[in-house]
Structure 1
Amino acid sequence: MAEVHQLILDYGVDTARTLSSSKLDRQCLDTAVAVMQDDRFDLNLLHSGFALTALPHRNTKELVWERVGGQNGEIKLHVESGFGANKQPVGLPYGSIARLILIHLSTEAVANNSRIVELGSSMRAFMRRMGIAPGGKSFSMLREQSMKISLCNLTFFNKREKDTVISKGSFVKNAVIFDNTDERQMRFMQDTVELDETFFKSLTDHPLPLRESAIKQLSGRSTALDLYIFLSYRLHVLERPTPVSWASLYHQFGAGSASKRIFKQGFKNPLQLALAAYPEANVEINENGLILNPSESPVPKTHPWAKRLKLV
């Protein structure tokens, strides 16, 4: 258990707040309190490939995006920008909003065992639960990232001992893209998207459970969100302490950083936030990188979905 969680248990929330001396300390405290007080254990789901690879954090001019992850580079994500009706590239999905859209689509698809996901009220309800207002800039970002996700091409390469499995297609097979539609009109629309068949099969074969209360606390911080997803995937299956080098961390999480040195300087803050959202995590940081220690899953084995999600 991280220091912030022990502080709360030893002294209580109010005293812990008085001992929080920086903005980051207060953010970690608020995150830890929200997760520790969550007794509903509502789940979100995501394709486990995104625990080892990730989309861009910021807008990029690149039209092709590749990331390799895993202990031995066994997973590779390849994303290509799609094209709009004007035959111009729309760009790659990026940032926390794109990640939240994928989490929502994945959760609804697996929960209902259906490739058809309703975009209207369920998406709005999820975004409200994440603390994202439905109008203005948030609506524009939601629309933009939905379009990029709907049009891009996706390939996961999973390198196994004797072969490589290639899952090629897109996130979404059929989608409705709203042109010049404001958020007031959006509330009356109940359109759906149909997930790509290959992506849906891969998703249902490899769903990663995540605590919704943790996702909410990290919803505006894409690097912290990626780290939480990574730790939720790795820690509970470990049998022994496992080092992860700075080179490996930079390769997986350093998109947008000019150098490994700059990446290392900015790594501690999102890591602390991710750990605050995962009370069971046992992770050490040193001059060589991280040491991941065997930890309980953030989703309890008594959860109704535990057997379905292979937690037991």
Structure 2
Amino acid sequence: MIWASMPHKRVDGAFYKRDNGLASITMLVDPDIGLPYGKLPRLISAWLTREAKLTGSRELKLGRSFNEFVEKLGLSTSGGLRGDTSRLKMQATKLFSTTISLKAHQGQDFSYKNVALSDEGILRWGQKNSGGGSLWESTITLSEAFYRECMDYAVPFDLRVLHCLRSPLAIDLYLWLTWRMFILRRPALIPWDALRFQFGVGYATTPQGRAHFRAEFNRCLHDVHVLYPAARLSSERDGLRLLPSPPHVRALP
């Protein structure tokens, strides 16, 4: 998901594909449910990864009410069509129903990995007792493949930063940057074309489209850098230059 991100905006249909030049990611979902998009499924995915790492369990507890799950994510419990609760319920349903396929470009070889985020779940978001919550807790069981990804390859990040960033592109940049700085051992220059392949969904492959992407990328990068000032980087004519930097979240002793 860091290498090739989810849609930024609503995508019609049940199929979505991104290619960053090194690998492609395909998302499939029930057409009646639709594909996840925007900030909220990114926040949910990050929370799932963090919760699996903290608890060491495939079965995650979402709470005895939907508002409790909203509060776990650090969101507002306001209702209405534009409120966090209404949009979160819709995006959670989309995300939990999605299957992801990753294919690596390795010459004549064919390398792939299919991952569903969850094997099963019980979301008791419509049942309430006299106290306002459900008698039973809502749970989701991560698939073994996704759980192993969380445990073995999770990127150290600060969930509070994701709340501060409004743009899905900025969230993608932050998570990608924390990963790059976590493993970076020598300076690296990432060309603008490579960055556009990875992050530039929806931007035209024209000089104007490239200029628009670069401007939006730099705007979001500024927002990320304000929250992660220790990252040593510079936006240059040929691309983004990264220098070895302290990770945003330091490793445990």
TM-score (norm 1): 0.69
CA contact (8 A) 1:235 1:294 kept: yes
Match of 1:268, as an amino acid?
A: N
Are 2:103 and 1:157 equivalent residues in the alignment? yes
Q: How far did residue 175 of structure 1 move? A: 2.2
Match of 1:101, as an amino acid?
A: I
Residues 247-294 of structure 1: per-residue CA shift (max 9 Å, x gap): 111111111234222212222211101111112101110122211111
Deviates more, 1:284-293 or 1:117-126: 117-126
2:92 maps to: 146
Residues 286-309 of structure 1: per-residue CA shift (max 9 Å, x gap): 1222111111111124x35xxxxx
The equivalences for 1:127-206 within 5 A come to 127-128=73-74, 132-136=75-79, 137-158=83-104, 165-177=111-123, 187-188=133-134, 190-206=137-153
- Measured in 1, the distance between the counterparts of 2:86 and 2:139 equals 19
The equivalences for 1:266-305 within 5 A come to 266-301=216-251, 303-304=252-253
CA contact (8 A) 1:167 1:198 kept: no
Match of 2:115, as an amino acid?
A: G
- Measured in 1, the distance between the counterparts of 2:198 and 2:187 equals 20
Q: How far did residue 185 of structure 1 move? A: 9.1
- Measured in 1, the distance between the counterparts of 2:69 and 2:45 equals 11
Q: Which has the higher contact order (CA 8 A, sep 6+)?
A: 1
2:32 maps to: 89
CA contact (8 A) 1:167 1:199 kept: no
Q: Secondary structure at the match of 1:283?
A: strand
Two-structure CA RMSD over aligned residues (Å): 2.6
Listed as ranges, the gaps of 5+ residues in structure 1 are: 1-49, 305-312
- Measured in 1, the distance between the counterparts of 2:32 and 2:132 equals 25
Change (3 A) 1:283 1:277: same
Residues 106-153 of structure 1: per-residue CA shift (max 9 Å, x gap): 11112111111111266333322xxx2123121111111111011111
Change (3 A) 1:248 1:173: same
2:28 maps to: 80
Q: Secondary structure at the match of 2:88?
A: helix
1:57 maps to: 8
CA contact (8 A) 1:120 1:186 kept: no
Are 2:18 and 1:67 equivalent residues in the alignment? yes
The percent identity for this pair of structures is 25
TM-score (norm 2): 0.84
Residues 164-184 of structure 1: per-residue CA shift (max 9 Å, x gap): 6533131111123568679x9
Match of 2:211 among 256, 261, 265: 261
Higher helix share: 1
Change (3 A) 1:181 1:226: farther
1:246 maps to: 192
- Measured in 2, the distance between the counterparts of 1:165 and 1:245 equals 25
Q: Secondary structure at the match of 2:178?
A: helix
Residues 21-71 of structure 1: per-residue CA shift (max 9 Å, x gap): xxxxxxxxxxxxxxxxxxxxxxxxxxxxx22221011111142222233xx
Match of 2:97, as an amino acid?
A: L
Q: How far did residue 243 of structure 1 move? A: 1.0
Match of 1:199, as an amino acid?
A: F
Q: Secondary structure at the match of 1:257?
A: coil
- Measured in 2, the distance between the counterparts of 1:265 and 1:272 equals 11
Q: Secondary structure at the match of 1:290?
A: strand
- Measured in 1, the distance between the counterparts of 2:169 and 2:93 equals 22
CA contact (8 A) 1:167 1:202 kept: no
Change (3 A) 1:300 1:169: closer
Match of 2:100, as an amino acid?
A: L
Q: Secondary structure at the match of 1:119?
A: strand
Residues 208-265 of structure 1: per-residue CA shift (max 9 Å, x gap): 11023322322x3211111011110112322322111111111111112342222122
- Measured in 2, the distance between the counterparts of 1:156 and 1:212 equals 25
Q: Secondary structure at the match of 2:16?
A: strand
